[in-house]
Amino acid sequence: MSKVQGGMKCVKYLLFVFNFIFWLSGSLVVAVGLWLRFDPDTISLLNGDDAPDTYFIAVYILIVAGGVMMLVGFFGCCGAVRESQCLLGLFFACLMIIFGAEVAAGVFGFLNKDTIINEVEGFYLSSLQDNLTNGTNVATLYHTVLQCCGGTEPNPTLCPDAETENCVEAIDEYFNEKLFIIGYVGIGIAGVMIIGMIFSMVLCCAIRNNREVI
């Protein structure tokens, strides 16, 4: 019986430490999501009535999942300390939901990567045409932020320097990097949550068995 109680205490403390790390991970996910959402360069590139918003959908999923992770990590710590089967069961259920959200964010980022980039490229090319015909400055923002100029074909009017990278390639590189961050963060945190679900179930079963013995 002492061995069972000792094993249960070990799992309890491991789960408590895991939940504290889980809470910190949620804080990190929220921080990354807010950085991706409010990065001044990204905002300037996707500013405008006709700008695509698909990119921000994945970012919002990431931010919400990170916020829920912080909340769940706190309740998971309480459940581990109090050895509450109810709280641990709720913790497990919440982890399942967040797991799905994180995987959804990661998969959404990876599967829609080309779609998102194509939408941004289309928005830039239409803005470039407006720049040439109506004198709008949206395309100029892309030129400034991404240090690029013109579409697939350099335009002598806008791009006197033929060595400058064209903006279609620059957009592809810029948003590929951002979307890979979303994908890897989402899938990486989902992997951590699998460990949390295992710990919570082991502790929950240990609590039930210990009470049955008593």
Structure confidence by residue, pLDDT tens digits, 66-115: 887 788 777 777 766 676 667 667 777 777 777 776 677 667 767 778 88
- Domain span at residue 36 reads 2-112+177-213
Quickly tell me which residue has 């995987």 as its tokens: 103
Residue 61 tokens read as: 């999923």
* 22 part of a folded domain: yes
* 131 part of a folded domain: no
Residue 212 tokens read as: 């049955």
> Cβ(25)–Cβ(95) under 8 Å?
no
* 44 part of a folded domain: yes
* 136 part of a folded domain: no
Confidence category of residue 194, pLDDT binned at 50, 70, 90: confident
* 187 part of a folded domain: yes
Q: Which SS3 state, helix, strand or coil, does residue 104 take?
A: helix
pLDDT at 5 over 60: no
Q: Determine the pLDDT at residue 178.
A: 85
* 171 part of a folded domain: no
Lowest mean pLDDT among 4-8, 46-50, 128-132: 4-8
Confidence category of residue 180, pLDDT binned at 50, 70, 90: confident
Quickly tell me which residue has 């590189």 as its tokens: 173
* 160 part of a folded domain: no
Q: Which of 66, 90, 64 is nearest to 77 (CA)?
A: 90
Q: Determine the pLDDT at residue 213.
A: 47
Quickly tell me which residue has 């002598």 as its tokens: 156
Q: Which has more pLDDT, 120 or 202?
A: 120
* 86 part of a folded domain: yes
> For the chain, how many structural domains are there in total?
1
